[in-house]
């Protein structure tokens, strides 16, 4: 079968530069790699074709020969055995190893440093603590470097040698034709070293479990869902690698008086029937203490009053939200006969006075229109 044009195989123009060639190859190799296509024969053939095209076009001399003579430049032994031989697999491709390291997490010939795991700690604080900020002492169960062996995993004085199988990389590569697989070294289990006598405390891991006490400074203005990152306070890494981070997740408890919405606070304020009718000055709670609120006469249930700047100061800008007071007119209960009689007299005095009962009048006008329309 005639071979396809290498530029066509990679889906690039003839004048493509080195970066374009590499980008096209990575995209296609990722798509047709055997680890992803799980034994599909057509994909395997495409993968071989992609590799062959890249091997030629990524090499300046081979590409120049291909551009001048086409596939004939590599037939009958041209260029050290031709494009079909490749002279030894991925290791000799001048770039394949690096590319596959990028795509599939290979070590690329460098020692592996495995950073420690990040940890999460959920903490509950009161609304007052969230508003003003607070410092909390917490305890976390984590992995720390073993003091007995200084994180090496070996007993003091014990010999530590580089693993002869993986040469200290912690991973080994196996090649079959075009395909390379990389796995954790079976002899050192990824540590890259051979220990003569393992540490009795950490059993060769270099890390031990420990309960750590930490002091967490929570800034003013935090809200539920906010996270604080404590750099390097997570679990210790393997083989002496840096520790991960600790994320402290904030949960603000419900408050018996205030309800929070962003930087605003909402508060329900009950007032008496008389206060609602006659108006006056009432006392309301704020985060800074008591405050006076003027209620105009004739105030109805559900009326909202906004007190500027009496909410919560934002964590970053410092801009304070508002306190919104919702009025609830409280109906008196357990009245004696004298009190009931006074209310009856008040009710009689209001009879027919629509301007003094605006909602009553508008509601029953609406009801009358509804039934009139229903009967048509």
List the binding residues for Zn(2+): 146, 149, 163, 166, 185, 188, 199, 202
217 CB-contact burial (10 Å; exposed 0-12 / middle 13-18 / buried 19+): exposed
d(CA 48, CA 54): 10
Strands 246-252 and 227-230: antiparallel
The structure tokens listed for 235 are 């679990």
Contact 185, 163 (CB under 8 A): yes
Distance CA 324, CA 308 (A): 9
Residue whose structure tokens are 């050290």: 80
CA–CA dist 104, 183 (Å, integer) = 11
24 burial type by CB count under 10 A (0-12 exposed, 13-18 middle, 19+ buried): buried
Quick check: 145 and 207 in contact, CB under 8 A?
A: yes
Q: Three-state secondary structure along 80-101?
A: HHCCCCCCCCHHHCCCHHHHHH
Nearest-5° angle of CA 187, CA 192, CA 196? Answer: 70
Beta bridge partners of 292: 283
26: helix, strand or coil = helix
Q: Which amino acids are annotated as binding site, given as ranges?
A: 146, 149, 163, 166, 185, 188, 199, 202
Residue pair 65/73 in contact by the 8 Å Cβ criterion: yes
Answer for the pair 290, 307: CB distance below 8 angstroms, yes or no. Answer: no
């Amino acid at each position: 079968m005639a071979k396809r044009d290498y530029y066509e195989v990679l889906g690039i123009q003839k004048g493509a530069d080195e970066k374009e060639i590499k980008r096209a190859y990575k995209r296609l190799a990722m798509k047709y790699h055997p680890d992803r296509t799980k034994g599909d024969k057509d994909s395997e053939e495409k993968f071989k074709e992609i590799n062959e095209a890249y091997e030629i076009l990524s090499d300046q001399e081979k590409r120049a020969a291909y551009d001048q003579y086409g596939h004939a430049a590599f037939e009958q032994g041209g260029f050290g055995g031709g494009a079909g031989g490749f002279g030894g697999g991925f290791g000799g491709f001048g770039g394949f190893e690096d590319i596959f390291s990028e795509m599939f997490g290979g070590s690329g010939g460098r020692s592996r440093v495995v950073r420690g795991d990040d940890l999460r700690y959920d903490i509950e604080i009161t609304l007052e603590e969230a508003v003003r900020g607070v410092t909390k002492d917490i305890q976390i169960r984590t992995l720390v470097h073993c003091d007995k062996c200084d994180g090496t995993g070996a007993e003091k004085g014990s010999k530590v040698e580089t693993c002869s199988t993986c040469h200290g990389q912690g991973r080994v590569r196996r090649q079959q034709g075009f395909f390379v697989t990389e796995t954790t070294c079976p002899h050192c289990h990824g540590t890259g070293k051979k220990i003569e006598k393992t540490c009795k405390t950490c059993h060769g891991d270099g890390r031990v479990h420990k309960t750590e006490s930490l002091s967490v400074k929570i800034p003013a203005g935090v809200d539920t869902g906010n996270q604080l990152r404590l750099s390097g306070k997570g679990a210790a890494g393997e083989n002496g690698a840096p520790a991960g981070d600790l994320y402290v997740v904030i949960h603000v408890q419900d408050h018996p008086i205030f309800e929070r919405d962003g930087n605003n606070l909402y508060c329900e304020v009950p007032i008496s029937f008389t206060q609602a009718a006659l108006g006056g000055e009432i006392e309301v709670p704020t985060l800074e203490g008591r405050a006076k609120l003027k209620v105009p006469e004739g105030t109805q249930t559900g009326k909202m009053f906004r007190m500027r700047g009496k909410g919560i100061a934002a964590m970053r800008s410092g801009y304070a939200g508002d306190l919104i007071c919702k009025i609830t007119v409280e109906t008196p209960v357990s009245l004696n006969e004298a009190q009931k009689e006074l209310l009856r007299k008040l009710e009689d005095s209001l009879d027919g006075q629509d301007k003094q009962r605006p909602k009553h009048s508008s509601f029953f006008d609406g009801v009358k229109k509804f039934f009139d329309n229903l009967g048509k």
